[in-house]
A = this chain, B = another copy of it.
Amino acid sequence: MSDYSAFKVELTDHIAHVQINRPDKINAMNAAFWSEIIDIFAWAEDTDDVRVVVLSGAGKHFSSGIDLSLLASVANEMGKDIGRNARLLRRKILQMQESFNVVDRCSKPVLAAIQGYCIGGAIDLISACDMRYAAEDALFSIREIDMGMAADVGTLQRLPRLIGDGMMREMAYTGRNVGAQEAQRIGLVNRTFADLPQLLEGVMTIARDIAAKSPIAISGSKRMIGYMRDHSVADGLEYVATWNSAMLQSADLKLAMVAHMSKQKPVFDN
């Protein structure tokens, strides 16, 4: 694994555990964070041995969001002309969005394990994951509203696909804290666990389960579900027919069928 300053990355049994690793800074997202995450997910995407990604935060909290010093450095780049500043800001925002787009686009499932604070940019990040699981002490908050701005790296774009419209707006307009239980009730997380160790064990169990499936079938399922966020049912049906016209010719089906008949667990190639 490469050496990262904001992350710790491990690959075991087809599962890449990507951990935000700045616990003394409440895992605040600094410049290194925003660039390293792109490299990490490029590696995860290109490494066939990675079948599932688990995303977590080292220490007591998942992440407190963007590091404020980063905002200050952008402010320093600004010049006199409002139009050219707008051009600069637009570029910067699109760049930062790309850091979470790679999570969303990753063809392997990404599971977030969340404890403690999950605030501001951290909500943008987990919104780009496939599934979210939380420890009982987790606290979710769309904190951008208290910074005088509309969230612009994914929360307002992806979260409305995950939770109901009414609660979405309440969270976005008030920035209030939402606990783990309420988060599960509104569909923000799939399940809650008593504490951090149980959370990590629970999420790893699910990850191992997924890693044992056919990677061809998993990546197909992920793309199809992602596609449906933005397309009509008719489009989705045609797309899956085209997709599967190649993928059903894979050996994995026969392997699965034989295993099914012989009541054995199939072992799939990467």
Q: Which chain A residues have a beta carbon within 8 Å of chain B's beta carbons? A: 68, 71, 78, 80-87, 89-90, 93-94, 97, 101, 104, 109, 130-132, 144-152, 154, 156-158, 160-170, 172-176, 186-190, 206, 209-210, 213-214, 216-222, 224-225, 228-253, 255-257, 260, 266, 268-269
Contact = CB atoms under 8 A, between A and B. Distances in A.
A222 B156 CA distance: 9
Contacts of A222: 169, 173
A188 B130 CA distance: 19
Contact of A250 (B71, B81, B225, B238): B81
10 contacts: A81-B250, A90-B241, A94-B238, A148-B214, A161-B228, A162-B165, A167-B187, A173-B218, A186-B187, A234-B234
B233 A161 contact: yes
A222 to B, nearest CB: 7
A138 B36 CA distance: 46
Contact of A252 (B148, B217, B257): B148
A213 B86 CA distance: 18
Contact of A240 (B156, B172, B240, B241): B156
Contacts of A147: 217, 253, 256-257, 260
Contact of A160 (B130, B228, B239): B228
A148 B256 CA distance: 6
B149 A248 contact: yes
A157 to B, nearest CB: 4
A46 to B, nearest CB: 9
Contacts of A109: 169, 173
